[in-house]
Amino acid sequence: MLNRESCCNFVCIDIDIPKAAIKEVDFKNPDAKYSYLKNKLNAVLEALSGPLKVPPEAILLEETGGRGYHIWVFFTEEMQGQTAVAFGEAIKKQLAFEVEFFPKQGRLSSRRKFGNLIKLPLGLHRKHNSWSCFFSLLTEEPRFIIDKEENIAFLRSLVPVDPKAIEKVVKPFAEELSIHEEAIVFVGGSDQERPQFEGSPNQLVSQCAVIHKLRMKAESGDRFSRTEAFYFANIMISVPGGIDFIHDTMRLSFKSDYNQVRTDDEIEKITPLYPPSCLTLVSKHICPCYCKEGVRKRNEDPLVFGTSPCSVWLRRRPTLPVVDTANLLERIGTSENLKRAYFQAKYYHKNEDALFFDSFDFEHFENRIDANCKLLAKALVEKIEIPFAGYPEIFIL
């Protein structure tokens, strides 16, 4: 749903019959399905048209052909992904039940080039062999649109909403994103699997300043921010007994708002990520300061992998290497990898080696950095000599 600029032209809310209730509800029967989901659907529509002030003519209802409905909201122009995610949080705040919201990511990056997928309307649901269609609620009962041409005409009749109007409504939620939405700075390469460490949660509490601070905050009954909850979980997942410790800490912090199922869902989303570096924790003011001078130097050197709380205080479990040396050039020779190496070299030499640094040379390369990196990547992979591009023109006055 996000384009390369991390923007979107629409959002989608997904409500489903839970898998546990499938045996009780014949979801292939439109009346039975609507009877089960009616209250949830109306609650979502009331949240959209009420507190969030979305005009009804901008809302599209879709029968997915599966276990639920999709509620689409269209915009007149692109909306920033972060604003869209904040819009989703604002919707969830109005509801007493869980919904799935798309897009789930506020921004894409070189490490996350695509967001979560969602099925486009008017297609065949492959699992249930049932076609999707739009429907309206002009009366007490839904009117499902079967004819394809009528579906297209119904889609064209929508009047998209100005995203600026949405931005004003969701502004209070803009700083309160889901905990898996935070930008990640990897300690190691993005191809590495999450490292696991030997030790215990209590060991980290007693030695690591950031974990101690967050645990004490939870024990005093203070509520975590979403950012704090994310980073606490992303660290503790790598520790034996860490998941139980996360649940216990969230229970203390969020009190009556703690939800075990939702916490498990968030842990599942965080687990594939690499733990945050000490540099990230300090720069985002989650950690008050570096615990050791050596840790500070290591994290501030762009040519060295940084540390994480676990790597500083615990012993890493041995793992098999993930680098395929047989295809090393193919792994190194990517445009994104070369671009990252360029900025690391620029930062390093600008601050550490003034004799080497020539701002003109770097500026000349950077003006066409995408094309230059693609050319270098091709030369590496094909094992050919890097072509000489010539000298830039110099105008002497």
Residues 162-213: tens digit of each pLDDT: 988 888 887 765 544 434 343 333 333 444 578 899 999 999 999 999 999 9
Output the pLDDT for position 349.
65
Output the pLDDT for position 392.
55
pLDDT band at residue 237 using 50, 70 and 90 as cut-offs:
very high
Overall average pLDDT of the 99-121 stretch: 80
Rounded distance between C-alpha atoms, residue 79 and residue 42, angstroms: 25
Output the pLDDT for position 363.
78
What is the percent of the chain with per-residue pLDDT over 90, rounded to a whole number?
A: 29
Give yes or no for residue 253 having a pLDDT over 90.
Answer: yes
Give yes or no for residue 71 having a pLDDT over 90.
Answer: yes
How is residue 204 written in tokens?
């980290």
Cβ(313)–Cβ(207) under 8 Å?
yes
Rounded alpha-carbon distances, angstroms, from residue 345 to 83, 113, 217, 303, 350: 34, 24, 40, 8, 8
Output the pLDDT for position 344.
77
β-partners of residue 63 are 69, 133
pTM summary value: 0.47
32-36, 108-112, 154-158, range with the lowest pLDDT: 108-112
Give yes or no for residue 303 having a pLDDT over 50.
Answer: yes
Rounded alpha-carbon distances, angstroms, from residue 310 to 32, 239, 314, 349: 51, 8, 5, 30
Output the pLDDT for position 209.
92
pLDDT band at residue 110 using 50, 70 and 90 as cut-offs:
low
Give yes or no for residue 4 having a pLDDT over 70.
Answer: yes
Overall average pLDDT of the 65-94 stretch: 89
Output the pLDDT for position 242.
93
DSSP state of 9: E
203-207, 302-306, 356-360, range with the lowest pLDDT: 356-360
9-23, 183-197, 277-291, range with the lowest pLDDT: 183-197
13-22, 104-113, 324-333, range with the lowest pLDDT: 324-333
pLDDT band at residue 334 using 50, 70 and 90 as cut-offs:
confident
Give yes or no for residue 226 having a pLDDT over 80.
Answer: yes
Output the pLDDT for position 396.
55
Overall average pLDDT of the 8-14 stretch: 92
Overall average pLDDT of the 271-295 stretch: 89
Please state, as a whole number, how many other Cβ atoms lie within 10 Å of the Cβ of residue 55.
Answer: 14
Contacts of residue 367, defined as CB under 8 A and 6 or more positions apart, other chains included, come to: none
State which H helix or E strand residue 217 sits in.
Answer: helix 209-219
In the chain, how long is the greatest CA-to-CA distance?
Answer: 84
How high does pLDDT run on average in the chain?
82
Cβ(358)–Cβ(346) under 8 Å?
no
Output the pLDDT for position 368.
83
Output the pLDDT for position 188.
39
Q: Residue 22 in 3-state DSSP?
A: coil
Rounded distance between C-alpha atoms, residue 60 and residue 73, angstroms: 6
Closest CA to 285 of 204, 222, 231: 231
Residue indicated by tokens 């003011």: 285
40-44, 79-83, 235-239, 344-348, range with the lowest pLDDT: 344-348
- pLDDT tens across 113-145, in order? 777 778 888 888 877 888 899 998 877 788 898
Output the pLDDT for position 174.
53
